Each structure stands twice: as structure tokens, then as C-alpha cells.
Amino acid sequence: MPLLEVENLHTYYGNIHALKGISLTVEKGEIVTLIGGNGAGKTTTLRTICGLLKPREGRVKLEGEDLTQYKAHDIVYKGIAMVPEGRGVFARLTVMENLEMGAFSLKSKDQVNKNIERIFGLFPRLKDRRSQVAGTLSGGEQQMLATGRALMANPSILLMDEPSMGLAPVLVEVIFDTIEQVNKEGVTILLVEQNALMALGVAHRGYVLQTGEIILSDSADKLQKNSTVQKAYLGME
Amino acid sequence: MLRTWRQRITITDIVVWTIGFAIAVMVVYGSAKTLALGKYTTETWIDLSITGLALGGVYALIALGYTLVYGILRMINFAHSEVFMSGPFTAAFAAEALVKQGLWNTYPVLSLLIVLTVSAGVSAIIAILVERIAYRPLRHAPRLVPLITAIGASFFLQYTFRGLYGSGLKGYPEMEIFKGFWIIAGIRVFKTQAAAIIGAVVLMLILYAIVQKTKMGKAMRSVSEDKEVAALMGIDVDRTIATTFALGGVAAGLAGILYLLLFPVAHFYMGFFPGLKAFTAAVLGGIGNVPGAFLGAMVLGLLESVGPSLFLDGLGIPAAYQMKDAIAFTILVFILIFRPSGILGERLTQAKA
């Protein structure tokens, strides 16, 4: 049984049919990426999975349990955490407080402290800035914080929306290194990216979205060699 | 250079600056004259200041409700003055019952606890109901709509309480332990005023600590920054908003008892002026900012009590004290003209960036 199973998802914004029957699966331990152009429905897919949008049709299942009817704030408790587009750190809260909020769904204080230590191990930069207000962090640090914050909830799957957005190339490398590292520690990842080259570099498998539909799905290696993908998303002739 | 200056300064600016200057001159001249005349002794000034601080403390607790709700919903809860009224008005009846039972002065601490609990409880419940009925269904409506329902809720509560408890004045019994005054460092302080100041400061500190340090308070601050991301953390946004209203209600209810210590009469209209002034204090301090609400309230309380005698007596105005609200609000308007975001408020454009 796949860890995450999305079946025939149809999501609307008012009358606009944004997702036209998206189906995808993510196996435990994988990095799966959704690539595609602007308005293809990548973010909408993630937002529907984590409950911020309600699909009009279709189902989202985690380990076989149907989550479609749950609200966003309940879905975290089920094991899905999201790093939102644009990072969404709480700018006026300190780094520590942001991490604590990430662990809002955990009951045990010991567990929270253990997770904080783990995040500080993963991102030592955050430890130096623990009592700093998050709004004063650089873009790269904010991305680390948003990622760390999502990991605080001990999710079984991490959804990441455009982690490379607005970051300098050097920092993009750092972020993708941590994605791989986090994955090696056993966290399954569903990654949405505009930067298809980087995304296919770390992912095991990928789906290509176009105007709300999946037009291609294959292993990351094969997608990299696919001529349609190369032309449309990797900028090759 | 001269040209750009000319272009930048409008007639309105000149008028505003002139009036501002005139007021500043009047304030300085009036104060100097009053002090030169020596009409009031030092004790009187201290008395007036203490009165101002006591009032300010009550305003601060009410202002907390405005500022917390504004922080989380970017909305002014205009029914908050009635949230403030409902608690102490109900508590006045509880106090009367306690007097009848003969407990009021024999067990003053217990009685005080009962009255505080009743007041805070009723105000909190009213605040939650207002949010649930008048605001939550309109969460995604245009901003003017909840403003209208707020005014509607305010009138509804005023006249419901008038209907329930009558339109007369309800005396609040005096407590033996608050009679008279203490001499602190040679200064005479009425016990009621001391209680109001200490009570307000302690309660503000506790409430501020709740907002800053507890998990619930941090959740409130997260929701006030970004509701969607807060939901992704597992925070129930609706429940957090209701909690915020409840916390504001508790503060208002407690403020109500302090207010009754200072002015021992309850009635259905008692919320209007303190509510308006607390709202003003919140804006003056920088709305959305808890320490700002406290500071703004203290400034307003002092302006209101010390202002008339200090600024106007020297100018030979006969009933200076009647102009306390005029003075307080004039100065307020000018503070806001020159500092629109309030004393401790952050510039809104920066906050959005």
C-alpha cells in the first residue's frame, strides 16, 4: 500500500476547474516531485492534500485512511506536514517560537525539545539565531526555518511547495542537500518545484502537470531524458 | 529646492501645523500660568496624577480586548464596550446579594473573588457569543459588514441588559476594606485607587505573560500573523479566535470591577465612555500591541485627570474640569496626526512587507 494515495482529485476555485482528476501515489521513503509550469496546478494539488482546499471530487488517503473530510488543522495530526509556498514563517515570532508552533500537534514536551535539538543539528544556523525574530532572517534561513518547523510535527510525509523560490543558487544547493538528508533520515517527501532540473536531480520519481492534469509520470532519470520534459521544463533543445 | 518644498506643503499642512502650534503654546502657557498662580498644592497634583493612573489602569484592561481582537482579525470589536458593561452590571447584583447575606464585609476577600469571577465570566461569555453569532459567519465578508454587526450587537446588548436589569442606576456597595486611604511616602492615596492601579498592573502583566509565554498565547500570535499557515501547524483557528475574545472579555470583566471601585454605580450605558476611551488608548499606544495599549491608556488617563487643571485653569477658564474629554481627545488627535501608528505601533507598511 502506498503511503500517500491521491485519487482522481477535482478542485475548483469558484467556477475555475483547477485540478481535473489528479491521481498520484507516493511510496514510503520516496522523494516524488511534481513539476510543471505556472498555473499547472502544482500548488493547488498540495493545498488540497493538506486540507486547505476541499476537492469537489476524489480522495486523499494516507496509509489507506481517507483524509478528504478532515480540516487542515486535523490533517497535521494524521502525519502530513507542509512547507508552504513563500515559506510562511511567523515573522514576529522568534525562531524558537516558530519551531514550537511547528510542534503544536505534539503533546509531550520532551518530544518537542528532542525535535528542536534534531532541527538544530540539521540547521546549525537556526541554533545561532534561536531567539531572533523570524522576520529578520535571510531568505535561505527562513526556508530552513519553514522546513524545520514542518519537521517538528514528526510527519510521515512532508509536502514542500517551491522551496527554491527566490533563493540565490548557492542556497538552492543547500536546501536541496537538506531535502536529500531529511529523506535519508526516513521522511517521505512530495516536492513541488519550478526548478525541474534540481527537483529531478534529487527525486526518485516525478509527475508532470499541465493545466490541471498529469501528462507524464515516470522515474526521475527517465523524465530527465524525456524530450518533452527537456524542451518544456529543462530549457534544452 | 525651495520649489519642491513649496509643492510639498499643502494648505492643510499649514493649518494643521498652525493649530498644533497654537495648542502647544496654549498648553505651555496655561501650564506655566497655572503653576505660577500656585492655585494648587503639590498634593493636589499628586492626587490628580493618581486618579489618572487609576483610570488609566481600567482603560488599559479594556483596551487589551480591542488590541487583541484587532491583532487577530484586523477588526475593531465595537461591541467590546458592552462586553465590558455586561460583567460589572451583573456583578453589581451579585454584590447586592452578598450584602443581603451579610457576607460582603465579613468575608471581603471571598466576596471580592465571587464578584470578580461573576464579572469576568459574564463578560467572557458575552464576548464569545458576540464572536460566534455576529462575527464568525461574516469572516470572509467585506470589512464594513462586521462593523455593522458590531454596532448592532452593541445596541442589542445595551437594550437587552436594560430590559433585564432595568434602566435605573444600580449602586455598587462599598467594601469596608476599601474605605479611607493609605499614606504612602507622605502621599495620601485612596485605597480604591491604589487597588485599581495595583490590580490593573498585576492583571496586565499576567495577561501579557499569557499572550507571550503560553502555548495558547503563541498560537494566538501565529493566527494573527497568518491564519492559513497556523492551520497547517495544527492550530484550530476558529477556536483560537474564540479564545482571544474570551481573554479580552475576562480582562474587560475584571476591569469592570476596578471601575466600580472608582465609580460605584452600574447601569446599562456604563460601557460607552470607558469603551470609547479604551479604544482610543489602544489606538494611541499602537493598536495590536499589548504594551502599547497599557502605555496609551496611562497617557490618556493622565491627560484626562491632570490636563484640565494644568492647561486651562491658568487661562481663567471657569469650569476647566468639564473640558477633560475635549482636552484628552484634542491632544490625542494631534499625537495621531504626527504619529499615525501610535506611540509603540509599528508602521503598517513595514509590517506588511
> Within the 82-121 window of chain A, which residues sit less than 8 Å (CB to CB) from chain B?
82, 84, 88, 90-93, 97, 100-102, 104-105
pLDDT, tens only, B88-119: 999 888 888 888 888 888 888 888 899 899 99
pLDDT, tens only, B232-263: 999 999 999 999 999 999 999 999 999 998 88
Instruction: Find the closest chain A residue to B223 by CA distance.
Output: A90
CATH of the domain at A227: 3.40.50.300
Task: Tell me if A125 is assigned to some domain.
Answer: yes
Helices (H), chain B: 2-8, 11-37, 42-73, 80-100, 108-130, 144-165, 191-213, 215-225, 227-232, 237-262, 272-285, 290-307, 324-338, 348-352
The answer to whether the Cβ–Cβ distance between B228 and A52 falls below 8 Å is: yes
Q: Which residue bears the cell 517538528?
A: A152
Task: Tell me if A18 is assigned to some domain.
Answer: yes
Q: Which residues contact A147 (CB under 8 A, 6 or more apart)?
A: A83, A123, A158, A160, A163, A175, A178, A182
Instruction: Find the closest chain B residue to A103 by CA distance.
Output: B233
**B231 lies within 8 A of chain A by CB:** yes
- A82 CA to chain B: closest CA distance, Å? 7
CATH assignment of B49-306? 1.10.3470
The answer to whether the Cβ–Cβ distance between B225 and A149 falls below 8 Å is: no
- A195 CA to chain B: closest CA distance, Å? 23
* CA dist list (Å): A128 to A93, A94, A125, A132: 16, 12, 5, 9
Facing residues of A7 across strands?
A59
Which chain A residues have a beta carbon less than 8 Å from that of B215? 100, 104
CA triple A164-A168-A174, angle to 5 deg: 65
- A73 CA to chain B: closest CA distance, Å? 4
Q: Which pLDDT score is estimated for B223?
A: 93
**Rounded Cα gap, residues B201 and B198, in angstroms:** 5
Task: Tell me if A144 is assigned to some domain.
Answer: yes
Q: Which pLDDT score is estimated for B344?
A: 80
Q: Which pLDDT score is estimated for B97?
A: 87
Which chain A residues have a beta carbon less than 8 Å from that of B226? 88, 90
**A153 lies within 8 A of chain B by CB:** yes
- Is the distance from CB of B20 to CB of B334 less than 8 angstroms? yes
Instruction: Find the closest chain A residue to B231 by CA distance.
Output: A73
ipTM at complex level: 0.90
Total number of domains in chain A: 1
Stated pTM of the model: 0.87
Q: A157 lies in which domain range? A: 4-232
3-state secondary structure of B139: coil
Task: Tell me if A237 is assigned to some domain.
Answer: no
Q: Which residue bears the cell 479604544?
A: B279
Domain ranges of chain B: 49-306
Each residue's pLDDT tens digit in chain A (237 positions)? 889 999 999 998 888 888 888 899 999 999 999 988 888 888 999 999 999 999 999 999 999 889 988 999 999 999 999 999 888 899 999 999 999 999 999 888 899 999 999 999 988 889 999 899 999 998 888 999 999 999 999 999 999 999 888 888 888 888 898 899 889 988 999 999 888 888 888 999 999 988 888 888 888 888 888 888 787 777 665
- Is the distance from CB of B174 to CB of B111 less than 8 angstroms? no
